[in-house]
Amino acid sequence: MNITKASKKHFKSAARLHAASITTGFLSTLPLPFLATLYKSIARCKGSTVLVALDENNNVCGFVAGAVSVGSMYKKVFLRSAIPLIWYILPHLLSITTVRKLIETAWYGFAKKKSKNEQADNTNSGPSLVTSHSSPSSELLSIAVDSSQRGKGTGKKLITELELFFRQNGVSSYKVVTFSKDNISNTFYARCGFTLHKQFLHHGNLMNEYLKKIDVLVAEGDRC
Ligand SMILES: CC(C)(COP(=O)(O)OP(=O)(O)OC[C@H]1O[C@@H](n2cnc3c(N)ncnc32)[C@H](O)[C@@H]1OP(=O)(O)O)[C@@H](O)C(=O)NCCC(=O)NCCS
């Protein structure tokens, strides 16, 4: 199994894997061309990446997407791909619920940094229930492994490679958000070294935000 940066030929497979595997999220309700364009755009923006795991036949059997700054990634994706993205979901825009969820999803990326009071609240041990989002701005956006390939360490390897990308981009900690009732994801992230930081409501669902600290890679010239 080989992990590599996603290229043109991988985005449709990544979109299919997303739709088949991440069934609880809002994005998987949108058409495959929308998802494929979204991942293509994320992969092409500086500061974000899509990595794919390829099996022995070079088929995509897993992927992970991450961004150094989610807010800046959303802006770049919108500027780069607004027309195709809107085109693919035109019929969906007749639904008020879909429009509301799209706005909430986009707004998530631009949400303000947490206030000083909120930071103080989060100094207690254990997660706290808050209604706004907070730093770090770096995030694992999505990860999936084909159902036939799970339990073989592919997910963990994708996380390791994403962390290499983050470290090369000066990221010292990043987050990931899960549905609090999604036991498999919650166990997976705990086994990959994340700690539960806080819980909040999104689209009416209770969400877990996990954090993980990583070491920034120091360039040779920067060493003392
Ligand atoms: C979550 C997911 C990516 C894990 O991929 P994977 O390749 O099966 O995971 P790995 O084999 O690398 O397992 C890594 C660790 O998580 C644990 N783990 C993975 N799946 C688990 C499960 N179903 N139950 C309990 N533990 C599990 C493993 O035991 C392993 O722990 P260890 O290294 O201490 O032994 C995969 O199950 C998946 O694609 N799920 C559907 C999509 C999804 O929910 N994505 C996350 C939300 S975006």
pLDDT tens for 44-89 read 999 999 999 999 999 999 999 999 999 899 889 988 888 888 887 7
Alpha-carbon distance values, 152 to 66, 142, 155, 177 (Å): 22, 19, 8, 23
CATH number at residue 43: 3.40.630.30
Least confident residue range of 84-98, 136-150, 184-198: 84-98
Domain extent for 133 = 2-222
In this structure, the residue with its CA closest to atom 24 of ligand 1 is 184
Which numbered atom of ligand 1 lies nearest the CA of 151?
11
What is the crossing angle of helices 70-88 and 96-110, to 10°? 160
Query: And the tokens for 80?
Result: 């780069």
Residue 111 and residue 12 in contact, taking contact as beta carbons nearer than 8 Å? no
- Look at residues 176, 158, 128, 187 and name the one whose alpha carbon lies nearest to residue 25: 176
Rounded to the nearest angstrom, the distance between the alpha carbon of 207 and the centre of ligand 1 is 18
Distance 11 CA to ligand 1 centre (A): 22
pLDDT band for 216, please (50, 70, 90 cuts).
confident
Strands, sheet with 60-67, edge to edge from the N-terminal-most edge strand? 2-5, 48-54, 60-67, 139-145, 173-179, 205-213, 195-202, 128-129
> Please, how many CA atoms are within 13 Å of residue 120, restricted to the half-sphere of its CB?
3
Measured in angstroms, how far is the CA atom of residue 88 from the centroid of ligand 1? 31
Tell how strand 128-129 and strand 195-202 pair up: parallel
- Say how far apart CA 6 and CA 35 lie, in whole Å: 14
Nearest-atom index, ligand 1, CA of 154: 7
Atom of ligand 1 at shortest range from CA of 158: 12
Number of domains in the chain: 1
pTM value is 0.86
Around ligand 1, the residues with Cβ closer than 6 Å are 21-22, 142-145, 150-156, 178, 184-185, 187-188, 191
Say how many Å lie between the CA of residue 112 and the centre of ligand 1.
Answer: 31
